[in-house]
Amino acid sequence: MVKTAELIDRVSDRIFLERSLCREVVDALILEIKEALADGNDVIMPTFVTFKLTKRNPFFGSIAKTGEKVFYPESNSIKCICSRNFKSCVRNDPTYLPINSDEAIKFREQQEIEKEAKQETNKYKTDYEKLNEYAIKKNAREAKLKNNLYGEEDSYSDFNFNIDDEGED
pTM: 0.49
Give the model's pLDDT for residue 87: 78
Give the model's pLDDT for residue 131: 73
Give the model's pLDDT for residue 133: 76
**Could you write out the three-class secondary structure of the chain?**
CCCHHHHHHHHHHHHCCCHHHHHHHHHHHHHHHHHHHHCCCCEEECCCEEEEEEEECCEEEECCCCCCEEEECCEEEEEEEECHHHHHHHHCCHHHCCCCCHHHHHHHHHHHHHHHHHHHHHHHHHHHHHHHHHHHHHHHHHHHHHHHHCCCCCCCCCCCCCCCCCCCC
Q: Report the length, in residues, of the chain.
A: 169
Q: Encode the chain (169 residues) as per-residue pLDDT tens digits.
A: 889 899 899 988 988 889 999 999 999 999 999 999 999 999 999 888 999 999 989 988 888 899 899 998 999 899 999 888 777 777 765 555 555 667 767 777 888 888 888 777 766 666 667 777 777 887 777 777 776 665 555 444 444 444 444 554 4
Give the model's pLDDT for residue 107: 76
Which region, left, alpha or beta, applies to residue 74 given φ > 0 means left and ψ of -120 to 50 means alpha? beta
